[in-house]
Amino acid sequence: MSVNSTSLPFIPFTRPSFNQETIDAVAEVLRSGWVTSGPKLAEFEATLSEYFGGRPVRCFANGTATMKIALQVAGIGEGDEVITTPISWVATSNVILGVGAKPVFVDIDPISRNIDLNEVANAITPNTRAIMPVYLAGLPVNMDQLYALANQYHLRVIEDAAQAFGSKWKNRKIGSFGDLVSFSFQANKNLSTVEGGCLVLNNADEAKVAEKLRLQGLTRQGIDGMDVDMLGGKDNLTDVNAVIGLHQLKQLPSFQARRTALARQYFDAIRTEVKSAGIENLKLELPVENFIDSNWHMFQVVLPLEQLNVDRAQVMAELKDLGIGTGVHYPAITGFTLYQNLGYQTQDTPIAERIGRSIMTLPLFPGMTDEDIGRIAKALVGILKKYAKS
Ligand SMILES: *Cc1c(COP(=O)(O)O)cnc(C)c1O
């Protein structure tokens, strides 16, 4: 079934890769008689802990629950302020509101599209308790600068590393150092358990609190009797999800190599097409060309809308018509009705406002072919040329 104007197969903006071994392992868990949190979860957490250099790791039902529990572990709540970025999935600031704290948005750096760490100090007040950076598309912030700021102002860091599984900083894995580091294993992420997430913690005491928070605040059950000593929720990860994660970890190096190779091809293909179309004057913004630290979760371009007689929605619609899926990650959170009603204004972070309005995610996932990249670059540049203001 094809609804587009081409006979070529549709390329979605992303697609998860689960191999036969993973599918067989899921079937085995389903037949085992124990399907919720159990031995596979314990094995997944132990394997993740080893992956992160021995730091404690606990898993949760999704990345949002993981970040909420990270804030609770850090003791952040009513009256506290948390500094974060307006360009993220809305979960980032929703969880801050959810624990009763106040998100404080600092504008982004237009090159990295991450929070501008040079602006963080200006946003600190006596109520600031934490910084919550986001590594958009898997590109980390300057981690030395981040932790220098945190030390200087005595702030906790809750890293929203949802998109950064496998990313590095100076040859160290994101998550293997730092304060509280939260990952998501949602279907679109580089490593997926369908839905899920994990938190890297500092010590066994924090891990104990995280365990209680994910299961009703339970301290014990069984023949010793039952007790609850704090208010927890129901945010546990099941063995079905955990066994998927164990197999995704084995595939991760090949996923990573493929994503990096495809990203390299994008730069080459887009530049070649721009040159042959003679539209070098258009300020099409490409990602930071970082093949060492980034896990290439996404490949995003920022459209030069002021130089075009077209808006982003129309560009996306025409690409779709050519059999190419795209996404928007993300409009500035401060523009959403909930946040406007709380008094936030998009003009306060003008770079985020512009990029949120003009950013577009091109397809990037391990199952793509080299030909797909060429086809996408040609289609994108063709549309830009058609609508370029003279
Ligand atoms: C995916 C994502 C989350 C939330 O993860 P879920 O597993 O969907 O709850 C949070 N922040 C960012 C930046 C994300 O990309």
- Tell me the mean pLDDT in the region 113-118: 98
Decide if 158 contacts 164 (C-beta within 8 A): no
pLDDT at position 3 is: 53
Does the beta carbon of 70 sit less than 6 angstroms from any atom of ligand 1?
no
Give nearest CA residue, ligand 1 atom 7. Answer: 63
Q: Where are the domains of the chain?
A: 20-246, 252-387
Domains 20-246 and 252-387 share a fold: no
Give nearest CA residue, ligand 1 atom 6. Answer: 63
Out of 189, 208, 234, 283, pick the active-site residue.
189
Output the CATH code of domain 252-387. Answer: 3.90.1150.10
pLDDT at position 4 is: 63
Confidence of residue 1 (pLDDT cuts 50, 70, 90): very low
Output the CATH code of domain 20-246. Answer: 3.40.640.10
More confident position, 7 or 36: 36
The 10s digit of each residue's pLDDT in 339-380 is 999 999 999 999 999 999 999 999 999 999 999 999 999 999
Confidence of residue 222 (pLDDT cuts 50, 70, 90): confident
Helix (H) or strand (E) holding 158: strand 156-160
Hey, what amino acid is at 178? G
pLDDT at position 221 is: 85
Decide if 133 contacts 105 (C-beta within 8 A): no
The 10s digit of each residue's pLDDT in 129-188 is 999 999 999 999 999 999 999 999 999 999 999 999 999 999 999 999 999 999 999 999
199 Cα: distance to centroid of ligand 1 (angstroms)? 13
Counting residues of the chain whose pLDDT is more than 90, the rounded percentage is 96
User: Residue 291 and residue 289: Cα distance in Å, rounded?
Assistant: 6
Partnered with residue 359 across adjacent β-strands are 302
65 CA: nearest ligand 1 atom: 9
**Annotation marks residue 189 as catalytic:** yes
Give Cβ neighbours of residue 259 (< 8 Å, ≥ 6 apart): 190, 295, 296, 297, 364, 365, 366
Does the beta carbon of 184 sit less than 6 angstroms from any atom of ligand 1?
yes
164 Cα: distance to centroid of ligand 1 (angstroms)? 11
- Tell me the mean pLDDT in the region 243-264: 98
- Tell me the mean pLDDT in the region 236-241: 98
Confidence of residue 2 (pLDDT cuts 50, 70, 90): very low
